[in-house]
Structure 1
Amino acid sequence: MPPIPLTVGDLAVAGLLLLINGGLSVALSLGLERTLVLAAARMVAQLSLVGLVLKQLFALQSPWLTLAAALVMVLFAGHEALARQERRLAGGWSYGLGTGAIGGATSLVMLLALLTAIRPAPWWDARYAIPLLGMVLGNALSGVSLALNTLTAAAVRERAAIEARLALGGTRWEAMQPLLRHALRTGLMPTINAMAVTGLVSLPGMMTGQILAGSDPGEAVKYQILIMFLISGATGLGVLAATLGAVRRLTDARHRLRLDRLGGARR
């Protein structure tokens, strides 16, 4: 069964639901109506542009254009990870660390998926690589940004405890271990929660999209399981790399806490 096409009018009818949120904002004096309109307009513009770009990528089938698109996505993901941190590492370290962790982890996971599980021909086929990358990248971004924000905030808050452990002879890794564990748990928890409720509570977007497009539900389930495993792997690797890098940056070889390497709190 072919997918049911949607018209601009169909989207406009669904868009009327935003009036409910706008009305709530006005009635409760939340001041979110302008932000809501701008966010919705930005979403429509971005998705429309992405649709045109993907159409060209699929038609051209160029490995270099596919790589360029993937690189742009990773760089924007690094920027978003930076924007979500309350306390940033000074000197561009937060951007570099976040981008490197997200990009490296996602690249490894995507190569594994494209070369072993999915095996498109060619293996870098943009029709498979870019949508899968977007799903994995978005979740890795959330995990890394949460973990880094948790770690840097905890380092400031628990400065006395960290320095006490260092004064008692602990190494920088021993002194930062409780914070590292907390940051890792925080970064991984959204992915764990998502896996726990997938299927029973929620039907994820990829699975729903495939079913609406006419795919067999059994095949859609297999793809969704694969995606959740990829997301879990990329998030875990990214969170681990980012937090280990942050701990190393917030301390030095003489086992001292270096909060001077943190920027000021954002307002």
Structure 2
Amino acid sequence: MNELITLTPWDLALAALLLFIPAAISIALKLGLQKSLGIAALRTVAQLALVGLVLEWVFALNRWYYVLPVLLVMLVAAARAAIQRSERRFPGAYFAAFASLVLASSITAFSVTEIILDVDPWYAPRYVIPLVGMILGNALTGISLSLDRLLTELVRQRRAVEARLSLGASTWQAIQPWMREAVRNGMVPIINSMMIVGLVSLPGMMTGQILAGASPINAVGYQILIMFMIAASTAMGVIILCMSAYRVLADPAQRIRWEKIIERG
């Protein structure tokens, strides 16, 4: 079988019955998650159906001035999701997250599409949009985790930071241990994924290609490329956002602007 099996609305309706399993567990254990699960399922269907229609239209037109707005919407949504997941933020965090995602995704996506894959034209939506989507989906998790860890630990360790400053340390020296921990925390998910890929899990990119009839070896090659691309973009996004936070919090007078750390809600 070399062709991908087409799913009908009836097939998806049958698949929806699988959601009764987590709903039943939630009810039995009184977790209260059944409402959230139902809303999440409806949003999944609505969002993916809309995305499918938009992408089919964009793919058919195949023009850069239709591709760029789609990428812009994806970037804005990713930046917003990344900051909303953090319990704390700083003034300008949304713009910093957006900028970090733009730089990380553009550098890695350009490297892959233009240098490695040699995509022609450069804006080919069938390549660019899925690749950027995978970059953003993983990078936003990394920057969210790193930002939350950095600001939370700084607040918790405020006395230690102030003690370092009082002993003559610069602002960079004072927060460096927690900066390193934040960057490490943001990189953990992708490193863990790379450790188990192929042994425990078959990622979506590889699975999709195999289901579509591609050679498993060719699918593996693409998945290796994707994992390396995600690791690079996540690292860049995490570093850029953490350094942006440092620039906002660090005072030229060698003190930390604690008032700039804002708690959610």
**Shift of the alpha carbon at 1:266?**
2.9
Task: Please give the TM-score of this superposition, normalised by the length of structure 1.
Answer: 0.97
Q: Secondary structure at the match of 1:22?
A: helix
The residue number in structure 1 matching 2:25 is 24
Q: Distance in 2 between matches of 1:258 and 1:102?
A: 25
1:50 CA displacement: 0.5
The Cα shift of 1:249 comes to 1.2
In the other structure, the counterpart of 2:79 is: 78
Deviation per CA, 1:203-231, whole angstroms, max 9, x where unpaired? 00000000000011111011000000100
CA distance in 1, matches of 2:121, 2:101: 25
Q: How many Å apart are 1:129 and its aligned residue? A: 0.2
Cα offsets for 1:32-66 (capped at 9, x unmatched):
11110000000011000000010011000110111
- Superposed CA RMSD: 0.9
Deviation track 1:76-97 (CA, whole Å, cap 9, x = no partner) reads 001001111101113xx11111
Tell me, yes or no, if structure 1 residue 239 matches structure 2 residue 232.
Answer: no
- Partner Cα separation in structure 1 for residue 161 and residue 101 of structure 2: 28
Q: Which residue of 1 aligns with 2:3?
A: 2
- Which of 248, 252, 266 aligns to 2:264? It is 266
Q: Which amino acid aligns with 1:103?
A: V
User: Match for residue 154 of structure 2?
Assistant: 155
d(CA) in 1 for partners of 2:96, 2:150: 13
Deviation >6 Å, runs of 4+: none
Q: Which residue of 2 aligns with 1:11?
A: 12
Where does residue 188 of structure 1 map in the other structure?
Answer: 187
Deviation at 1:252, TM superposition (A): 1.1
Q: Does 1:118 align with 2:117?
A: yes
Tell me, in whole angstroms, the C-alpha distance in 1 between the residues paired with 2:199 and 2:22: 28
Question: Comparing 42-51 with 24-33, which one deviates more in the overlay?
Answer: 24-33
Instruction: Specify the SS of the correspondent of 1:120.
Output: coil
1:43 partnered with 2:41: no
1:135-146 equivalences under 5 Å are 135-146=134-145
1-structure distance, mates of 2:153, 2:250: 14
Letter in 2 for 1:44: V
> Partner of 1:17: helix, strand, or coil?
helix
Q: CA deviation at 1:139?
A: 0.4
Work out the CA distance in 1 between the residues paired with 2:95 and 2:156.
Answer: 24
SS at match of 1:16: helix
Q: Does 1:100 align with 2:99?
A: yes
- Structure 1 CA distance for aligned equivalents of residues 256 and 162 of structure 2: 7
Q: Which amino acid aligns with 1:257?
A: I
Match of 1:210 in 2: 209
CA distance in 1, matches of 2:24, 2:11: 22
CA deviations 1:209-263 (Å, max 9, x no partner) are 0000001111101100000010000000000111111122111111101111122
CA separation in 2, counterparts of 1:155 and 1:65? 43
The superposition leaves residues 122-177 of structure 1 with CA deviations (integer Å, 9 ceiling, x where unpaired) of 12100000011100111000000100010010111111111111111111111011
Note the residue ranges of structure 2 that are not aligned, 5 or more in a row: none
Q: Which is worse superposed, 39-48 or 11-20?
A: 11-20
Residue 171 of structure 2 aligns with which residue? 172
User: How many residues are matched?
Assistant: 264
Segments of structure 1 that go 5 or more residues without pairing to the other structure are none
User: Does residue 53 in structure 1 map to residue 26 in structure 2?
Assistant: no
Taking structure 2 as the reference length, the TM-score comes to: 0.97
Look up the match of 2:218. Answer: 219
Distance 2:251 2:105 in 1: 28
Aligned residue type for 1:64: Y
Query: Take 2:264 and 2:60, find their aligned partners in 1: how far apart are those partners?
Result: 44
